[in-house]
């Protein structure tokens, strides 16, 4: 799983193994072994790969099917506790749409000054 995902990410960015190896400070043979699931990099290198490809390390490790994770620290304090756990499995575009909709609902139903005086 790790190797397949690494290869997909690398090929998606049209980066040869040699260049990825240079960026990580490893040999091209090491990258080839990772992609063929003959070896796995150490945790520090997995984190470098995740940063380089801008994905969550859990995605590389096969723990999630979604390349990025949602960081609830970035969510409004009033919203984060109410989100279903399944939101992390949405695509980034779908998560943005959910957040945009939440913002729309907050604005739509926000009390305006004087509304409670009717």
Which pLDDT tens digits describe the chain residue by residue (118 residues)? 889 999 999 999 899 999 999 999 999 999 999 999 999 999 999 989 988 888 888 888 887 766 665 455 555 555 555 565 566 666 777 777 777 777 777 777 775 544 554 4
- Rounded distance between C-alpha atoms, residue 83 and residue 95, angstroms: 11
Query: Domains along the chain?
Result: 2-60 (1.10.260.40), 72-111 (no CATH)
Q: How far is CA 27 from CA 48, 59, 102, in A?
A: 15, 23, 47
């Amino acid at each position: 799983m790790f190797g397949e995902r690494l290869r997909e990410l690398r090929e998606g960015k049209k980066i040869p193994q040699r260049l990825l190896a240079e960026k990580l400070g490893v040999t091209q043979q090491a990258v080839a072994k990772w992609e063929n699931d003959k070896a796995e990099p150490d945790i520090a290198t997995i984190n470098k790969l995740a940063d380089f490809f801008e994905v969550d390390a859990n995605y590389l490790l096969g723990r999630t099917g979604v390349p990025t994770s949602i960081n609830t620290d970035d969510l409004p304090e009033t919203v984060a506790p109410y989100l279903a756990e399944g939101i992390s499995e949405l695509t980034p575009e779908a998560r943005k749409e959910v957040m945009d909709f939440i913002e729309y609902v907050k604005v739509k139903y926000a009390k305006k000054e004087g509304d409670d005086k009717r």
